[in-house]
Amino acid sequence: MGARGRVHVAVLAVVLAATVQGPSAGAYEPSQSTRVAFLGTGTPNADPGHSGPSVAILVNGTPYIVDFGPGVVRRAAALAAEYGGPLATFDVASLSLAFLTHLHSDHTTGYPDLILTPWVLGREVPLRVYGPEGLQAMTDHILRAYTDDIKMRLYGQEPANDQGWRVVAHEIGEGVTYEDDNVTVEAFAVRHGSWPQAFGFKFSTPDRTVCISGDCRPSENLTEACRGVDVLIHEVYSHTGFEGREQSWQDYHRQFHTSTLELADIATKVKPKLLILYHQLYWGATDKDLVDEVRSKFQGEVVSAKDLDVY
């Protein structure tokens, strides 16, 4: 099924869930002005069906990127090519604003792509990025690594502007991180193993509130930051698959990630109108299995995202 088809399936699944469960004041209704698009839902595993983690919050056609795993720009190009309606004006050269949850490689190996490819395709303004301590050093090293490429494009025969390759990196703390006419973005600290800084982000638009967990284990800070949002996008691993893992891996995942049953407890407290699973660790489970595990303890609407799904 193509990307255009999947958006209808994603929305239809939510509508059907509301119909089965009956009407309620908390039922989720899709928005025409605020959309959530999954450019990648993957993990460090080299699964060709799941590009590296990246979510685009699109508000009135403007994209706000959260994380930039491998494949991010080509997934964005696929989104732009296949969708119409509120995404018709979205193009790769408009990728100029991004947020980073933490510095793990599966969330950042698309960073050079996000810096350089939209510039080559016409971006005329610097890329602005907001993320944890270490972002500036990463940015400086990437630009240094591509010095020859940048010089050749600027001073060779290829037409190129002198702004689109530049990056303005902001190392942030908790609180309001960014504001414009479309959104207010708040960063909140999450617990991701031994990382000294890892963030989730809350997007408040004129008609939606959307929380993205980033990589994390359960914490009260996340629960409080996301309480009552319209959409909660949360990483997850299969509880059933986890039980078959070696003890050393179980110890790791307890500290760094969130199981389906733990997420069900979080969602029961947060009460989102729609819970979306992403960055899924399946370990032999299916998307249906993940959803069923969550639903065993959470009574709200839940779906498991695939690359290029739009909600």
Banded model confidence at residue 200, pLDDT cuts 50, 70, 90 = very high
Does 22 fall in a domain? no
Q: Residue 20: pLDDT above 50?
A: no
Structure tokens at 52: 């590296």
* Residue 82 within a domain: yes
Q: Is 214 in contact with 101 (CB distance < 8 Å)?
A: yes
Domain count, the chain: 1
CATH number at residue 102: 3.60.15.10
What is the edge-to-edge ordering of all strands in the sheet holding 209-212?
175-179, 184-189, 199-204, 209-212, 231-237, 274-281, 302-304
Residue with tokens 């990483």: 235
Q: Is residue 147 assigned to a domain?
A: yes
Could you give phi then psi for residue 28, rounded to 5 degrees? -85, 135
Mean pLDDT of 35-57: 94
Range of the domain at 267: 3-16+29-304
Mean pLDDT of the chain: 90
Q: Please, what is the Cα angle at 108 between 102 and 110, to 5 degrees?
A: 155
Q: Is there a contact between 229 and 272 (Cβ–Cβ < 8 Å)?
A: yes
Let me know if residue 23 belongs to a domain: no
More confident site: 291 or 84: 291
Question: Is 98 within a domain?
Answer: yes
pTM of the model: 0.90
pLDDT tens-digit readout, 134-181:
999 999 999 999 999 999 999 999 899 999 999 999 999 999 999 999
Whether 50 is in a domain gets the answer yes
**Continuous H helices in 123-271:** 135-145, 147-155, 220-226, 239-242, 247-256, 260-270
Give the least confident one: 14-18, 92-96, 98-102, 260-264: 14-18
- Residue 38 counted as domain residue: yes
Look at residue 88 in the predicted model and tell me its pLDDT: 56
Is it the case that residue 227 has pLDDT exceeding 70?
yes
Q: How far is CA 236 from CA 52, 115, 139, 264, 267, in A?
A: 15, 29, 29, 10, 12
- The 8-class DSSP code of residue 191 comes to B
Q: Is the pLDDT of residue 25 over 70?
A: no
Q: Looking at the predicted structure, is the pLDDT value of residue 7 above 90?
A: no
More confident residue, 269 or 87: 269
Is 310 within a domain? no
3-state secondary structure of 219: coil
**What pLDDT, on a 0 to 100 scale, did the predictor assign at position 150?**
97
What is the model's pLDDT at position 23?
Answer: 33
* Digit-coded pLDDT (tens) for 246-305: 999 989 888 899 999 999 999 999 999 999 999 999 999 999 999 999 999 999 999 999
- The pLDDT assigned to 18 comes to 41
Percent of the chain with pLDDT over 70: 89
